[in-house]
Structure 1
Amino acid sequence: MSRPWPGSWRPLGLSYDGQGVNAALWAAGAAGVDLCLFGEDGAEERVPLTESTFHVWHGYLPGIGPGQRYGFRVHGPWDPGSGRRWNPEKLLLDPYARAVDGDFTLNEATFGHLPGDSAPFMPKGVVVDESVRVDTGPRPLIPFAETVIYETNVRGLTMRHPDVPEDLRGTYAGLAHPAVLDHLIKLGITAVELLPVHHFISEPHLLEQGKVNSWGYNSIGYFAPHAGYSAAVRRGVRGGQVREFQEMVAALHRAGIEVILDVVYNHTAEGNQDGPTLSFRGIDNDCYYRLADDPQYYRDYTGCGNTLNVTQPHVIQLITDSLRYWATEMGVDGFRFDLASALARSLHDVDKLSAFLTTISQDPVLQGVKLIAEPWDVGEGGYQVGEFPPLWAEWNDKFRDTARDYWRGARTDVRELAYRLSGSSDLYQDDGRRPYASINFITAHDGFTMRDLVTYEQKHNEAHGEENRDGSNDNRSCNYGVEGETDDEKLNILRRSQIRNLLSMMLLATGVPMLLSGDEMGRTQHGDNNAYCVDDETSWVDWSLLEKPQWRSLLDLTRRVIHLRRRHPVLRQRLFFSGQPAYPGGLQDIAWFRPDGNEMNEGDWFEPSTALAVYLSGQDIRGRGPHGERITDDSFLMIMYSGWEDLDFTLPGDPWARWYQVAVDTSLDGDPGARDDVMLAGGTTLALPPRSLLLLRADHELWSAT
């Protein structure tokens, strides 16, 4: 090919304009950049980019179009001792590639410190015509307070679904299949939170063992949908993952469901100094990564070998360009940031005024999407639950731990439990955030499933080849006398009751609930609490569970509680409770009761208790409707009892209620609606069965059966 035209330093990446492509790569310290074009036979043509503007190497190539495979080779000194790791023998992925073709093959040539041309073993970027795209709108625009999140993996959700055609299982198209959408719609969730879909590769140590990364927390392409999740790519449509992803988003939007992506901007798949050279390391190592005092090594706040350097303006640009691309071009509605504390560090410490958080807060596009932080990393001072600024919601692990402890019978601080049930005002109110800053979860991809939480007290990760050393040892789980599955039906009834308690508490608590996919039908990973490298039936959702009555009834209960939450604004408060009437003359907005039916006094908050009741008044809900109107709803009394013997509990009478109607009763091991017609008078003393949750709708009028 003849010498390229000068082209432009922006936009970054390879952009097609109908006549050719503009190529632009930021590489501040490089001595030269070659654009490498690959033919259908794998032959490589190297085109030097001789223009450099603002540290961006660029050129325009007429006649190059969509489907073209490419990469970069970057020239410069090889001096790891000073943090400089340029090596033109290594083919590099474009950080801005919109699609990636081919797999990473583990070979010594892919490591910068070893000889050999890495091109035969590297995936390549693919030129995409971005003027041809699927309309993913209109967006559902679900208010955060009304959101119910379903965390899932694109592949794991559909690999065992009997109604999804085999060629679509494990793909974006499979997730958008009507049978899957029907399940999500009937369940009542409002958003799917997808484990990473940025193009990722498996870690070398997994490939050496014949394993793969099944979660995707090993990103290398921040603009490219993972090719392995694309049915179109399987059929040989190069770059087809872009359109397929957009079609999935469009289908979910039509179903009224938002799409939230779990994004991994804290580290990349290149690992530590001994890892492969795939992209950033070979483009400008000491700009893209945080280097240690000895710059041949990396600062590792992530536990994954490296940490992206978000004190560097171009790295912040990369991240925000990526976020805006997914929000605007791909239709995504929000992002959950893995190990977000690593992104919020300035020089070393986590800083609410860091460049990253400041940039996000003023971005007009990103202000309009849901932002969720995993508010910790593995570095010193990395645990930051409750410390992120306005606009951000957070995974609330304090809710997780408190809920697990309460239901397994651990000694639980009543004040802690009350805070978690009422929106965690102790964490989020002082900086002006709302209750929906708290993402309430009990299980997530990382850890036990809900069923395993009540079946195993020890992790069982032996299949990972790490002698069961990986995964958390702090599971706060309980097996109730037998480790693992059992044929003891009495024990199984108890375990199912505990699942119902955990799920119901999470879905009824103030905040935003997040449900792990498959928990609604009793999915098990057989005690594996770190299934990141397990890509088989262990980690895939088992849809055949719905053929069993006990798990079908669990699904029915989950649907019931989610739909109760969606119908009743009193169960999804937008403002924090005050313990006072929302308006003069009304009932206080929240009240807490002892088993004798009286309100808790100051001393009660310092006594351990297995029973707690909370009354949520719907007479006047704090806050106004969109037109300034008062919001009214039913009132509810939720009673939780984690003890092991029957407990007498007296229902509060006037002014709280004259009658109560049963809405949820987790003691029922079967039809969740079996007590719908049961009415209980205020002042009645109930014999609460052990380990149960009861939600009662309050009625202020006299009621009589006819």
Structure 2
Amino acid sequence: MPQAATQTKAVRSRIKEGSPYPLGANWDGLGVNFALFSAHATKVELCLFDDAGEQELERIELPEYTDEIWHGYLPDARPGTIYGYRVHGPYEPKAGHRFNPNKLLIDPYAKGLVGSITWNPALFGYQMETGDDLTFDERDSAPFTRRSRVIDPAFTWGRDRKPHVPWEKTIFYETHVKGFTKLHPAVPEKLRGTYAGLGNPAVLDYIKSLGVTSVELLPVHAFVQDDYLQEKNLVNYWGYNTISFFTPARRYAAVPDFAFSEFKEMVARMHGAGLEVILDVVYNHTAEGNEKGPTLSFKGVDNASYYRLMPGEERYYINDTGTGNTFNLSHPRVLQLVTDSLRYWATEMRVDGFRFDLATILGREPHGFDEGGGFLDTCRQDPVLNSVKLIAEPWDCGPGGYQVGGFPPGWAEWNDRFRDDVRGYWRGDSGLLPSLASRITGSADKFNKRGRKPWASVNFLTAHDGFTLNDTVSYNEKHNLANGEDGRDGHSHNLSNNYGVEGPTDDEAIKAVRTRQMRNMMATLFLSRGTPMLLAGDEFARSQGGNNNAYCQDNEISWLDWEGIDEAGRDLAEFTQRLTILREALPILTRGRFLSGAYDEDLGVKDVTWLRPDGEEMSTENWTDGGAHSIAVLLDGRAQASGIHRRGGDATLLILYNAYSDLVSFTLPSSVGGVGWTRLLDTNLPDSQEVGTWEIGDRYEVTGRSMLMFVLKPEETEGDEATKMERSYQHVMQAFERANIESVRFAPSAT
């Protein structure tokens, strides 16, 4: 057990008044300005440590208090200075105050941390052994907690430029810094699982070859390992337990003391490959838990300001997050901390966007969710934040927490309705044709308002929480025993189907159905309007053995097994690449207009037509037929492409969906200006590289549980001048040929 640090009678540092701005510990080349917000503190002590961060050398009272900010300037402090705070004030839990100067606190604006947290009763502001949070604990927490560290932010970015991928061209790729490269054979062993490993050229070459544009990383803010997991020999793998909003997690750095510079180098390398970096951020709660949780930072700095407390019962915390506390973004200084953090990552660290965990909470005011709330309004008007990608996870567990489609213009949102309706449709659930039609055309029922575009719907089949794509077609039930909760954790509503055997099987017929269903869902994802998000590993059929809540599995359950990818996995990856190449060549799938299905008299065009397998238009009766599982959609490339009222010149597409288990015969319909239909994709023939064209009126026998896409072959124009339709068709066919030639760049083993 660590021994208590000894306070020495060192020569006192020369303290000056300093400035209340900027907050945090900031080096100006001559010294360090320290500034800490606390509205209810009576005194703040700055604690300085030796270079090892083990011995407390002195405590310096910050001399000035301006606009609720305590501040002072140390001319002899430098980058590398290790420090913490002890904050004095009332310990009155019933009034919401939990000040305890015996607890060393992390600076809320710390840019670097040293050490680790060792769970010990001294970390708690009350006498933990009693279970009574009204008691007061006098033990020093310094030996058991992290210290803050002053950094020098200087970094040579060279020619780094943000890719600025347009929304309509964006494809997200969700992954985990450690899990992606921990078993990667091309990454040197000492760099596996690190920022440097993720920036390895072979890794980036693979990601780029898939055709994705934006790598979305699970949380990299410094977070805390939960003691209840450590007691079970498990860890917090995902990282949704933040304690420092400005500090990159040291555990992902090959050289932990320089995590901030290693992270920047990773970003620079990704930008060099043309890839954006998106961070999954957790500003809705912290690692300090409820009234029975530890005092690590915010709780001891100013509990009543940083957290939402129960009105009239301020001893207790509002728990809209399900984690014990809720960050109080209604407070201007807390709102400032969050937006300062976002700007820091967008400017100093040069990330390209953020995905907000439980984002409904960020839009909550005391009266409930408000799309005009302080945080959401701040993001809209901020010149930095309104220029990066902002993605909401639009739900929480509080009242009125489900807000898909409820965020303001400028935001994109995870659309779980896409996941559920597409999974349900391909599983064969009844009555889902209307829902499928909405999901594959941008979910206008959710997003077509206030000038929002189809890209606002982030479409996904799977994410870090839940089954992988492979497990969705391999397991009927979750298998979470490894999590140590007797299988009680994780969601039971998985919309999955094992097709005859639970888990792995040698049955070739079952394996064929599973593989085709993965292709069906993958094709639906990439050939729908909206912004696709692919979970890393789904492209080669990664499995977690049926675990749908692997938050605590920092092991082979979660890590991508690169050397275990078999031929079927490689084939699925090649199929995924084919989809991204075709999507890029088909602007009709990414246009910024929602489809209406109405006939435009002036242009003589209907943007979308829904067809039965016999080629006739769907009627109201057909839409309400719960037993119908097959449909075709015709997307007319002549439809208005933008706000300018004129005909478009895109290629016309016909996409066939058959979720029946048996073959269905589809009649290929007529379309203005076309002489036939050229097949681009058949999930039953994934490796087909032949160009096949069928005449108008031909019947195509669609295999059970499969999906096809055709492009309209236009009439040939006499002379040298090709029409827009012809040029668009030629462009698509060139992409088809490119998809036949290119391959996913799986990395060779490291030498």
Which of the five TM-score ranges fits, normalised by the shorter chain?
over 0.9
Question: What corresponds to 1:658 in structure 2?
Answer: 675
Q: Which residue does the alignment assign to 1:457?
A: 476
User: How many residues get paired?
Assistant: 692
- For the residue of structure 1 that corresponds to 2:438, the secondary structure is helix
Partner of 1:482: 501
* Per-residue Cα deviation, 1:400-446 (whole angstroms, up to 9, x for no partner): 11001001111133221111110011111123211011000010001
Equivalent in 31, 41, 45 of residue 30 of structure 1: 41
Structure 2 match to 1:686: 700
2:431–2:624 contact (8 Å) kept in structure 1:
no
| Equivalent in the alignment of 2:738 | none
Cα separation, 1, equivalents of 2:140 and 2:352: 40
Match runs of 1:40-55 below 5 Å: 40-41=51-52, 42-44=54-56, 45-55=58-68
Q: Structure 1: which 5+ residue stretches go unaligned? A: none
**Aligned equivalent of 1:500, options 510, 519, 526:** 519
Partner-residue secondary structure (3-state), 2:270: helix
Aligned partners of 1:286 and 1:136: how far apart in 2?
Answer: 45
Kindly state the Cα deviation for residue 122 of structure 1 after the two structures are TM-superposed. 1.0
Name the structure 2 match of 1:542.
Answer: 561
Which contiguous aligned blocks of 4+ residues in structure 1 show a shift greater than 6 angstroms? Answer: none
Q: Classify 1:491/1:146 alpha carbon distance in 2 versus 1 (closer, same or farther; 3 Å).
A: same
In the alignment, structure 1 residue 92 sits paired with structure 2 residue 101: no
1:207 aligns with 2:230: yes
Q: Which residue identity lines up with residue 228 of structure 1 in the other structure?
A: R
| Cα distance change on mapping 1:63 and 1:3 into 2, 3 Å | closer
Deviations 1:648-688 (A, max 9, x none): 111112437421122111113xxx34143121112111111
Query: What secondary structure is seen at the aligned counterpart in 2 of 1:185?
Result: helix
- 1:12 pairs, out of 5, 23, 38, with 23
Structure 1 length as normaliser, TM-score? 0.96
Q: What corresponds to 2:179 in structure 1?
A: 156
Which residue is 2:72 aligned to? 59
Query: Partner of 2:89 in structure 1?
Result: 76
Alpha-carbon contact 2:14-2:75 (below 8 Å) kept: no
1:249-302 Cα deviation digits (max 9, x unpaired): 111111111111111000001111111111000000011000113211100000
TM-superposed CA distance for 1:153, in Å, is 0.6
Q: Which residue of 2 aligns with 1:412?
A: 431
1:119 paired residue number? 142
- With 693-702 and 104-113 compared, the bigger mean Cα shift is at 693-702
Residues 40-94 of structure 1: per-residue CA shift (max 9 Å, x gap): 3521121111211111111010121111211111111212121110111111111
Equivalent residue number for residue 122 of structure 2: 109
Aligned residues of 1:136 and 1:330 also touching (Cα < 8 A): no
Match of 2:690 in 1: 676
Distance in 2 (alpha carbons) for counterparts of 1:462 and 1:176 = 34
Deviates more, 1:574-583 or 1:387-396: 574-583
Q: Secondary structure at the match of 1:295?
A: strand
User: What secondary structure is seen at the aligned counterpart in 2 of 1:278?
Assistant: coil
Matched residue, 1:278 = 296
Kindly provide the amino acid, as one letter, of the partner of residue 194 in structure 1.
Answer: L
Q: 1:136 deviation in Å?
A: 7.5
Matches within 5 A, 1:55-454: 55-114=68-127, 115=137, 116-134=139-157, 137-233=160-256, 238=257, 240-293=258-311, 294-454=313-473
User: The residue matched to 2:669 in structure 1 has which SS?
Assistant: coil
Amino acid at match of 1:363: D
Q: Rate the CA distance shift 1:556–1:2 in 2: closer, same or farther, 3 A.
A: closer
Distance 1:582 1:213, change over 3 A: farther
Please give the alpha-carbon distance, in whole angstroms, between the structure 1 residues aligned to 2:235 and 2:526: 33
Distance 2:374 2:108 in 1: 21
2:16 and 2:63 in contact (8 A); partners too: no
After superposition, give the CA deviation of every residue in 1:212-254 in whole Å (9 maximum; x if it has no partner). Answer: 1110100111011111111121xxxx2x111111111111111
Amino acid at match of 1:279: S
**Residue 274 of structure 1 aligns to which amino acid in structure 2?**
K
Letter in 1 for 2:441: S
| Cα separation, 2, equivalents of 1:674 and 1:604 | 33
Match of 1:604 among 607, 622, 627: 622
Q: Percent identity?
A: 50
Q: Is the CA contact 1:511–1:573 (under 8 Å) kept in the aligned structure 2?
A: no
Cα distance in 2, alignment partners of residues 697 and 63 from structure 1: 70
- Code of the residue aligned with 1:79 in structure 2: it is E
Distance 1:583 1:520 in 2: 43
Structure 1 residue 586: deviation in Å? 4.7
1:600-649 deviation per Cα after TM superposition (whole angstroms, max 9, x unaligned):
22332222321111111223452179xx9975222111111000111111
AA of the residue aligned to 1:693: M
Classify 1:656/1:601 alpha carbon distance in 2 versus 1 (closer, same or farther; 3 Å). Answer: farther
Distance in 2, matches of 1:136 and 1:92, equals: 39
Q: Tell me, which stretches of 5 or more residues in structure 2 are unaligned?
A: 1-11, 128-136, 717-725, 727-751
* CA 1:583–1:66: 2 relative to 1, 3 Å: farther
**2:526, 2:534 → 1: CA distance?**
8
Which moved further from structure 2: 400-409 or 93-102? 93-102
Q: 1:587 matched to which residue of 2?
A: 605
Counterpart CA distance in 2 for 1:14 and 1:462 is 45
Alignment of 1:632-647 (within 5 A): 632-647=649-664
Once the two structures are TM-superposed, the CA of residue 545 in structure 1 deviates from its matched residue by 3.7
Structure 2 CA distance, aligned partners of 1:429 and 1:444?
A: 25
Amino acid at match of 2:641: R
In the TM superposition, residue 487 of structure 1 has moved relative to its aligned partner by 1.2
Map of 1:557-636 to 2, 5 A cutoff? 557-580=575-598, 584-608=602-626, 609-623=628-642, 632-636=649-653
Separation in structure 2 between the aligned mates of residue 681 and residue 420 of structure 1, nearest angstrom: 29
Secondary structure class of the residue paired with 1:221:
strand
CA RMSD of aligned residues (A): 1.7
Amino acid at match of 1:399: F
| Corresponding position of 2:736 | none
CA 1:624–1:352: 2 relative to 1, 3 Å: closer
Other structure's SS at 2:574 match = helix
Aligned equivalents of 1:222 and 1:478: distance in 2? 40
1:578 is displaced (CA, Å) by 2.4
Task: Please state whether the residue corresponding to 1:513 is helix, strand or coil.
Answer: strand
The residue identity in structure 2 corresponding to 1:590 is V
- Indicate the SS of the match to 2:516: helix
